[in-house]
Amino acid sequence: MGLKHRHNYESVVSTLKASERHYLQAAHAGATSVALIYPNLYSLGMSNLGFLTVHRLTASVPGIGVERFFPALEAETPLPPPFYSFETGRPLGDFNILMFSFSYEGDFDKIPGLFAALGLPVIAEQRNRHHPLLIAGGAAVASNAPALSKIFDILVPGEAETTVVPILNQLQTDGFDPAAVSAIKGVWVPAIQPLPPQLCGLHDVNRQPAWSHIVSNCNAFGGAHIIEVMRGCPRVCSFCLARCIYSPVRAVDAAVIEEWLNQHPDCKDLGLVAPSLFDHPQVERIFSMLVERGVRIRNSSVKWEKLTPPIIGALRKSGISSLTIAPETGSERLRREMHKPLDEARFLERVKELFAQGFEHLKMYFVACLPGEEHDDLDATITLIEKVARQASGTSSVSAAFSIFVPKNHTPWAELQAPGSYEIKKTMKYLKEQLNRLPGSLKVSFESPQEAMRQAYLSRVGPELAEIYAREAQECRENQLFARNQFSALEF
Ligand code: SF4
């Protein structure tokens, strides 16, 4: 790293460090050193309770020094190599263990560039005891562990709380003994086991809920504390990965959240995390408790049918003026098939009430290119958006965001065909043309077709990904592609 670059890097790191509040101290030095890598932006890593939980658990193991690493500290500015840790600026190549947290499959694409810059062979069999031990976990590993099975020494499709400490204790005691590590429930050592373990959540969320022991002002919750209030979802939407990998459903009791608040009296702003927050059996109690304590609520998308007067009152008192709802499609037939019913008349009535109650913006999420989707289904979606947009008055507005259907492993729709490039482009073109004709201030956004196809490929690909990434890493090294911040050349 040149002097100028090093100076810029240190200046960004020190600004980000100044934005952080730490509620637990982690040792940076120890007999075993672990670099915990979030292969995406700093702001996303610091909003991710999986990554933060692994950091907290790793730091709890005596003898371990742990530091964070982000290949991109800010948007549009990935780091050129060599790579240094966030905490002390230690070269990444110096660590005993590199632990990756993959929250979505698209981040797999950071592997060739990172490995190439570190001089690490991508294929596990080609590494030796002088190389660091490579571990990967996170939602994307739970979704598609076989894709990484020839790259990483240890994969963790199971939950961090029941695996990270036993793995590290085992490594500290006996070094890497594949048989002993593979005996830990939820852990996969592909070199000696042909298949990944069955997914089964074992962690008691009431004994130890996931929370942000480091709060960064740059996190996606506007600098709020973050706590997980429910793991899993009681609903059965056919396309949904979250409900499958976080099964069984476990709600954190309101009393546990109250106790956590007592221990964090400075918390005046709290992000509530759950795949389906409004299905928490005590959601009203939690909201009113937060309002009584003067804690601002931050939440993700709402379930319109669960917006009772007390919940609406709490949201308004929290200063929330914008709501996000996910109807997924306007087609009743497709909603039935995906097991996500919606009574359209009641939904529109509720939207009208929400605008009347002072909510200013409604964002709706839709999925395009659903299995069996026909022209009539797209027209039904356009009609639904039009009806919602007509409810908005002069001061309120509506937006619609379209993602593209990607079949995910473990879900009932896992075996269905992903839409191809032609189908995606044709559908997008039609939706854009029709939605552009709608009157008013409707804003519409679409996921990039290339990104959707990349996701679909990485969600399904198997162990052959190692060979593909090894070739890319080779190309990266030969052409110094990582210096141009190009992590992967996979084209879609
Ligand atoms: S899409 Fe939402 S409501 Fe449906 S199962 Fe997934 S988390 Fe639950």
Q: What percent of the chain has pLDDT over 70?
A: 97
Task: Please report the pLDDT score of residue 459 as a whole number.
Answer: 95
pTM: 0.94
Report the CATH number that the domain containing residue 53 is assigned in CATH. 3.40.50.280
Q: In 3D, which of 245, 246, 234 has the Cα closest to residue 283?
A: 234
**Shared-domain flag, residues 185 and 223:** no
Q: 64: which 2 tokens?
A: 């371990």
Which atom from ligand 1 is nearest to the alpha carbon of 276?
A: 7
Q: How far is the centre of ligand 1, averaged over its atoms, from the C-alpha of 107 (Å)?
A: 23
Q: Whose CA is nearest to atom 6 of ligand 1?
A: 240
Residue 488 CA from chain centroid, whole number: 20
Q: Does residue 489 form part of some domain?
A: no
Task: Please report the pLDDT score of residue 491 as a whole number.
Answer: 55
Q: How far is the centre of ligand 1, averaged over its atoms, from the C-alpha of 276 (Å)?
A: 6
**Shared-domain flag, residues 34 and 122:** yes
**Shared-domain flag, residues 181 and 76:** yes
With the most atoms of ligand 1 within 8 angstroms of its CB, the residue from 143, 240, 303, 337 to mutate is 240
**Shared-domain flag, residues 346 and 296:** no
Q: How far is the centre of ligand 1, averaged over its atoms, from the C-alpha of 346 (Å)?
A: 20
Lowest mean pLDDT among 16-30, 355-369, 397-411, 437-451: 437-451
- At 477, the pLDDT band (50, 70, 90 cuts) reads confident
Give per-residue pLDDT as tens, 319-372.
Answer: 899 999 999 999 999 999 999 999 999 999 999 999 998 899 999 999 999 999
Give per-residue pLDDT as tens, 371-419.
Answer: 999 999 999 999 999 999 998 877 889 999 999 999 999 999 999 999 9
Q: Whose CA is nearest to atom 7 of ligand 1?
A: 275
Give per-residue pLDDT as tens, 231-271.
Answer: 999 999 999 999 999 999 999 999 999 999 999 999 999 99
Q: How far is the centre of ligand 1, averaged over its atoms, from the C-alpha of 459 (Å)?
A: 18
Helix and strand totals (H; E) in the chain: 17, 18
Q: Whose CA is nearest to atom 2 of ligand 1?
A: 276
Give per-residue pLDDT as tens, 68-127.
Answer: 999 988 887 777 788 899 999 999 999 999 999 999 999 999 999 999 999 999 999 999
Which atom from ligand 1 is nearest to the alpha carbon of 234?
A: 8
Q: Does residue 168 form part of some domain?
A: yes
**Shared-domain flag, residues 458 and 472:** no
Task: Please report the pLDDT score of residue 124 as a whole number.
Answer: 98
Report the CATH number that the domain containing residue 456 is assigned in CATH. 3.30.750.200
Q: 208: which 2 tokens?
A: 């130890």
> What domain count does the chain have?
3
Q: How far is the centre of ligand 1, averaged over its atoms, from the C-alpha of 300 (Å)?
A: 12
Q: How far is the centre of ligand 1, averaged over its atoms, from the C-alpha of 244 (Å)?
A: 10
Which atom from ligand 1 is nearest to the alpha carbon of 240?
A: 6
Lowest mean pLDDT among 205-219, 357-371, 472-486: 472-486
Gap between the Cα atoms of 125 and 339, Å rounded: 44
- At 3, the pLDDT band (50, 70, 90 cuts) reads low
Which atom from ligand 1 is nearest to the alpha carbon of 236?
A: 5
First to last CA, the chain: 32
Q: Does residue 491 form part of some domain?
A: no
H or E stretch at 421: helix 421-436
Q: How far is the centre of ligand 1, averaged over its atoms, from the C-alpha of 339 (Å)?
A: 10
pLDDT at 484 over 90: no
**Shared-domain flag, residues 49 and 122:** yes
Round the CA-based radius of gyration of the chain to a whole number and report it.
23
Task: Please report the pLDDT score of residue 143 as a whole number.
Answer: 97
Gap between the Cα atoms of 215 and 43, Å rounded: 11
Q: How far is the centre of ligand 1, averaged over its atoms, from the C-alpha of 489 (Å)?
A: 33
Task: Please report the pLDDT score of residue 158 as a whole number.
Answer: 93
Q: How far is the centre of ligand 1, averaged over its atoms, from the C-alpha of 87 (Å)?
A: 37
Strands 269-273 and 225-228: parallel
Q: How far is the centre of ligand 1, averaged over its atoms, from the C-alpha of 238 (Å)?
A: 9
**Shared-domain flag, residues 28 and 102:** yes
Task: Please report the pLDDT score of residue 2 as a whole number.
Answer: 65
Q: Which residues pair with 22 in a beta bridge?
A: 214
Q: 100: which 2 tokens?
A: 């990756």
Which atom from ligand 1 is nearest to the alpha carbon of 328?
A: 1
**Shared-domain flag, residues 186 and 235:** no
Q: In 3D, which of 278, 342, 282 has the Cα closest to residue 307?
A: 278
Which atom from ligand 1 is nearest to the alpha carbon of 239?
A: 1
Task: Please report the pLDDT score of residue 439 as a whole number.
Answer: 73
With the most atoms of ligand 1 within 8 angstroms of its CB, the residue from 143, 231, 233 to mutate is 233
With the most atoms of ligand 1 within 8 angstroms of its CB, the residue from 230, 238, 241, 243 to mutate is 243
Domain boundary among 308, 342, 365: 308
Which atom from ligand 1 is nearest to the alpha carbon of 233?
A: 8
Residue 249 belongs to what domain range? 199-308
Domain boundary among 308, 338, 372: 308
**Shared-domain flag, residues 176 and 64:** yes
Q: What percent of the chain has pLDDT over 90?
A: 85
Compute how many other C-beta atoms are within 10 angstroms of the C-beta atom of residue 108.
Answer: 27
**Shared-domain flag, residues 455 and 469:** no
Compute how many other C-beta atoms are within 10 angstroms of the C-beta atom of residue 210.
Answer: 22
On average, the pLDDT of the chain sits at: 93
Q: How far is the centre of ligand 1, averaged over its atoms, from the C-alpha of 471 (Å)?
A: 38
- Phi and psi at 140, nearest 5°, equal -70, -30
Q: 355: which 2 tokens?
A: 């605008």
Q: How far is the centre of ligand 1, averaged over its atoms, from the C-alpha of 221 (Å)?
A: 21
Task: Please report the pLDDT score of residue 490 as a whole number.
Answer: 53
Q: How far is the centre of ligand 1, averaged over its atoms, from the C-alpha of 117 (Å)?
A: 39
Give per-residue pLDDT as tens, 165-203.
Answer: 999 999 999 999 999 999 999 999 999 999 999 988 889
Q: How far is the centre of ligand 1, averaged over its atoms, from the C-alpha of 290 (Å)?
A: 24
pLDDT at 486 over 60: no
Domain boundary among 308, 340, 375: 308
Q: Does residue 315 form part of some domain?
A: no
Report the CATH number that the domain containing residue 269 is assigned in CATH. 3.30.750
Q: Does residue 30 form part of some domain?
A: yes
**Shared-domain flag, residues 157 and 93:** yes
Task: Please report the pLDDT score of residue 203 as a whole number.
Answer: 96
Give per-residue pLDDT as tens, 143-165.
Answer: 999 999 999 999 999 999 999 99
Residue in the block written with tokens 């007067």:
309
With the most atoms of ligand 1 within 8 angstroms of its CB, the residue from 276, 299, 337, 405 to mutate is 276
Residues with C-beta less than 6 Å from any ligand 1 atom:
233, 235, 237, 240, 242-243, 275-276, 340
Q: How far is the centre of ligand 1, averaged over its atoms, from the C-alpha of 95 (Å)?
A: 39
* Residue 388 identity (one-letter amino acid): V
Which string of DSSP letters, residue by residue, matches 303-314? -GGG--HHHHHH
**Shared-domain flag, residues 123 and 250:** no
